[in-house]
Amino acid sequence: MKHVKTFLILVTLTALLAIPALAVQLGQESFETTTGWSVTPPLQTPNTGDYCDRYDVLGGLNPPHSGLAVQYGNVDGDWFIAGEDLDGSLLGGPTFTFTLDPIDVSGYNNLEVTVAMNAAHQLNYDVADQIAIYANFDNTTDVLVGEFGGAIGDGDDGVNGYAGPDFNGDGDCDYELLDYANLEDYTFPISGTGTDLVIKLLATFDSGSEEFAFDNVRVDGELGGPTNESDAHVIASGVGAQTTISSLVDTQAEKQIVHTCQIYDAGDGGMAQNTIIDGLTFVQGNANDISWTTALAGAELFDGTNTYVGTINSSSIVFSFVPALVLTDGGVAVDLELAVWLNPLPYYADHSRLEFDLGPANFAVDPSGAFFDLTDPVVESGDLNNEIDVVATAIGITTQPPALVGVNASFTVRAGFVDENGGVDEDWPAENITLSVNTGIGNLSAVTGLTIMSANGQSNFYNLLYDALDTGVILQATSTSFPGPALADPFDTFVSPTITCDVAPLCWDGDASADAIPFAVHITIENWTAAANQDVYVKVYSGSYNPYHYTDAYGWSSSTSWASKPVVTLDANGNYSGWLFLKSKGLSQFRPRAALVSSTGTNITGVDVFGTALDLTTTGGILMDSNGSTNVTPGNVVLAFNESYELIGSAIAEDNGYPTDNGGYTIAAGGFIMAVCEVCDEEV
């Protein structure tokens, strides 16, 4: 589940006394001064990527800083509010509350709120990024009246999309913005009326390059008394929701009731109006933690006579009533039952929760009839109900291999205990799963082995290697409970670029400081034809840690920056072979990696090399060339003896240009100090 931080703007408005038959602007705030409103926590701009602040378009006390995406136009006056990455480095968040002086709106109806808004990064917005606009009469219930934010519609790639207004509250913007440089007015109607009106703008923008801006908040209304009574109600009723919903509930015939309620027109509004319902929208409750388009295959609403099919959005289900559902003024109540069935679920869905809310503001009513009483509480399916329970019925491949796999190139497969649709049962007891070749001429291997105990219902097979050029290779997974086998999707192999650390000591100086004794490892790059004749950086690393590497420009450096690493040139076939000089920084394992100097995002990675980090000594040992000389000749074998002249190690001297030993003394070309493990003082 994606966790986001939010930005809350609270606007309280009061109005002049009603004068019949006129449309009036009841309140306005353009943030031109710091009086008449307050904000908690203080506005701030810690850096150009994380900010929420008040900006002056004329370049005054707080001009737009370099982080703003555009210089916004159509600002009312000089000042406006903008923000980005509200879960970043802002202090005092995640909620920023703007509060304006109150105004009385009694005697006004047909209220509307208008806000000038924009979002300047076009296609960067996630579906959850939005400014949600709520109305609250007389300190009762917050009612959603409209949204402005991320789209699932035009131009969307399924993850990020355009920003735009949402007038019908279905969670999708109705159209994309065409002008990203100017603030635009968006007007949203407000159902009902009262004495004090509170407008809330709740903005959610959870990462960089998702900027929003707003200004000029206005509320308009028409003079005159209310034209509708508000005596329709929604209350909890019926069987309610069950504690869990099985992942096997995956067809319309197996649908499960997840929410029940009752609606009625009390007949006590004094205007004898029926309630004419054109539709309603279920929205997600606070406990819901999975997208409805991910989890739900279908939804139906039953009113005792008719069954309606819902349109499922990521955070809402919309039902339309044709013909309208009519509640007779003072007449019989109607019981509503919402039932759903599930999609094939992703691996993370087990124990996710579905919470369905329906409140008085979620009904679309004909304005010629009565309204719902907005003081009624929201009817919830419950914070502890509708928990998805994945029930395993087989073993399955939960992460498929790539369609193309390089020969001896690392790839990953996951297998687990799954239901009939492939959802992972995270409660399944730990059990060994074995991965093997079902169809293919090659051998499968992995550093961690091919039998792995499951955790949370899955076994993860990392760094898999297949050693043959082959087509239609099929892997299989088996277990004791479900012998299966579960067959993976077939893949083909190709000769891929590889990098290996093919020569390395079994032990090295484990001192984590720059004073450690250096050692050498041999790196081989093969078949990187796409990078032939190009310069590449070469290094070894472990997670986020780099041992000390030596270069002429940086000397000994353990920086993670590619620029501090040795640069080599590949030959016409994309091959290279040579030595790296290292100090361990305390690491006991590492893997090689190479990246194009021109584009470090293009890189190849090898498998881990394991060694033993020990305390070493430079005393008591003797180095000798195989010709008997203590001066090492490139290409010769170098022998290491203890004080009794017992052989304890060997290496090959290569003219690698390594300039100095650990003490800074110059060594002849091809020579270097060999570090020998003191506790390895045994004849070999």
Most confident of 96-105, 123-132, 349-358, 493-502: 349-358
| 651 — pLDDT class (breaks 50, 70, 90) | low
Rounded to the nearest 5 percent, the helix, strand and coil shares of the chain are 5, 45, 50
| 43 — pLDDT class (breaks 50, 70, 90) | confident
Nearest residue to 61 (alpha-carbon basis) of 32, 90, 104, 96: 32
Nearest residue to 591 (alpha-carbon basis) of 494, 447, 492, 394: 447
The β-bridge partners of 341 are 298
Most confident of 40-54, 181-195, 549-563: 549-563
Mean pLDDT of the chain: 81
Burial 629-643, CB ≥16 within 10 A → b, else e: eeebbeeeebbbbbe
Strands 108-118, 486-487: pairing is unpaired
Residue 64: per-residue pLDDT: 66
Q: Please tell me what DSSP assigns to residue 529.
A: G
Residue 438: per-residue pLDDT: 97
Measured torsion, CA atoms of residues 561, 564, 569, 575, in degrees rounded to the nearest 10: -60
Residue 7: per-residue pLDDT: 38
Helices (H) and strands (E) in the chain, counts: 1, 55
381: number of Cβ within 10 Å: 27
Q: Which region among 22-36, 177-191, 483-497, 631-645 has the lowest average model confidence (pLDDT)?
A: 631-645
pLDDT tens figures, 508-566: 777 888 877 788 889 999 989 889 999 999 999 998 899 999 988 888 999 999 999 99
| 627 — pLDDT class (breaks 50, 70, 90) | low
* Contact (Cβ atoms closer than 8 angstroms) between residue 564 and residue 537: no
Residues 6+ apart with CB under 8 A from 579: 520, 521, 522, 523, 654, 656, 658
pLDDT tens figures, 142-172: 888 888 876 544 444 445 666 777 766 666 6
Domains and CATH numbers, the chain: 7-223 (2.60.120), 232-389 (2.60.40), 394-493 (2.60.40.10), 498-612 (2.60.40.10), 615-684 (no CATH)
Residue 408: per-residue pLDDT: 87
pLDDT tens figures, 364-384: 999 889 999 999 999 999 999
What average pLDDT does range 255-284 have in this prediction? 94
| 667 — pLDDT class (breaks 50, 70, 90) | very low
For 588, the 3-state DSSP assignment is: coil
Structure tokens at 114: 């208008």
What average pLDDT does range 420-433 have in this prediction? 92
Structure tokens at 246: 């099985």
Structure tokens at 247: 């992942």
More confident residue, 167 or 300: 300
| 18 — pLDDT class (breaks 50, 70, 90) | very low
Residue 620: per-residue pLDDT: 42
Nearest residue to 404 (alpha-carbon basis) of 493, 472, 465: 493
* Contact (Cβ atoms closer than 8 angstroms) between residue 44 and residue 247: no
More confident residue, 406 or 394: 394
What average pLDDT does range 453-479 have in this prediction? 95
CA distance to 251, 296, 315, 557, per residue, from 258 (Å): 15, 12, 15, 60
Q: Whole-angstrom Cα distance, residue 342 to residue 248?
A: 8
| 648 — pLDDT class (breaks 50, 70, 90) | low
Residue 238 has pLDDT above 60, yes or no: yes
SS (H, E, C) 343-395: CCCCCCCCCCECCEEECHHHEEECCCCCCECCCCCCEECCCCCCEEECCCCEE
Residue 283: per-residue pLDDT: 95
What average pLDDT does range 315-325 have in this prediction? 95
Structure tokens at 596: 């194009």
* Contact (Cβ atoms closer than 8 angstroms) between residue 351 and residue 426: yes
* Contact (Cβ atoms closer than 8 angstroms) between residue 15 and residue 221: yes
